[in-house]
A and B are shown apart, each in its own frame.
Chain A
C-alpha cells in the first residue's frame, strides 16, 4: 500500500499525485516509469515518474484522467492508499553531454520530459524546449520546463496561448536555422510520429519515450511489444526510449487502441452513464 500525499488538478483533465514510495524515490532515474494498480480490482497501468524526492521518499506522477484507473486515481485524497506501485521500471534515459538539444513535450508528455531535461541540463547541454497542447487550459509546468531550458517555445493548436499551431512548426524552423545534436520528444503518438518524420529529413538523432499498454512491466507478457527497426522490442524492458526513426508508429498506435471498446465501457460505467 502506498500513501497518497497530494493529488490535485494542474490543468484541464490533468492531475498531479505525490505518493510515498521510499525505495522507488531513492532508486529512480530520469526516464523511468512505474506500474500502478490503483485498487484491488484495478488494472495495472504504466505512469511516468515526473519527479522524485529521495529525502522525503516521495515520487510524483502527472496523469491524464482518461480511463478507469486514472479516474479512480483522481478521486483519491491525501491519506488514501494506492494498492500497488512497482518501479522504477525501464531503462533510464540516456544522459550525456550531447551539445545542442531540442526537447519537445506534448500533453502529459511535458511532465515526463521534466526529469530528463533536469539531467540533461546538469550535463551541460544547451536545451531548447517546445511544449505544446491543444489549448491553453491543457498546458502546465511552463515554469518548471523553463527553469531547465535555455530557451522555451510554447504552442497551442487553437492559438489560445503562445504560438498558434503544432509543435512541429517551430521545430522545423529551429532545424532549418541551426544544427542540433539531438531531439527528444514525448507526447501523443501522432506528435512523436510527425517529429520523427521531420527530424529524419534533417538527419538529427531523435529519441522518443513510448507509453504502451502493459501488464507486468518486467518483460513477461509482451503486450507492450513494438517494432523497432523490424525487430520486436518490449517497451517495458528494452525501452521506454527508442530511436524515433526506427519505430513503426502506425502499428504502435494501433496496439494502443486494442481495448478502446472495453475502456470506453468502463468509463461509461464509472461515470454512471
Chain B
C-alpha cells in the first residue's frame, strides 16, 4: 500500500519529489492544497444578487455541502463518475462488446432544465470519464449553466500516469481544497491546454491557473 503522501506526489508528478507546495498540509487521510482557481471561482460567485444554484458533480462531500449552503446557495449534488458504473446504462455494440450508452445515461443523469445553475464544480471528471461521455457532458453542462455561469475544472498535467489515484475534493476554505483518495477510477486521458480550449470552445471564456504543483485549474464562463 502506498501512503497518501506518495500518492499525492504521484498525482502532482512533475513538481518533483521534494517540491511540496508551501500551502500544503497532510492529515491522516486527506491532504490539503491551495487552489487559486477555487478562490477565483468563489470570488466570482460572491457578488451574486440572487440566491445561487450550484451543482457539484463530484462524490457526495459533506464539507462541500456545508460550505456552499453556508453561502446560502442551493446545492445540487450528482456523482457522475459513480453513475457511469451502473450496468443499466450499458448497451451491446455490433461487435458484441458492451459500452456505455450516452442516451440512456443522460436520461437519468445531469437531467436539468436549461439555465438552472450559476456555477458547476466539475473537478477532474474529464480525465476519468469514458470517452463517449466527455463531449456530451460538456454540451449538457453548457446548456444547464446560466449565461455568465461559471465552471471550475481541474486537469492532470502531462506528467501524470494512468496509475494516478482518483481523489475526492473537499472545500476546506475559500482557496483550500482537501484531497481524499476515493474510489478506484482509472485516469483515461490527459488534456493539454489546447485540448481544454477545444473541449470548452463553445463557452465565452476560459481562464487557466497553473499552480506550482503543476496542476491545471480552469475556470470556464458560459
The answer to whether A and B come from one shared complex is no
**Interface, chain B (partner A; CB < 8 A):** none
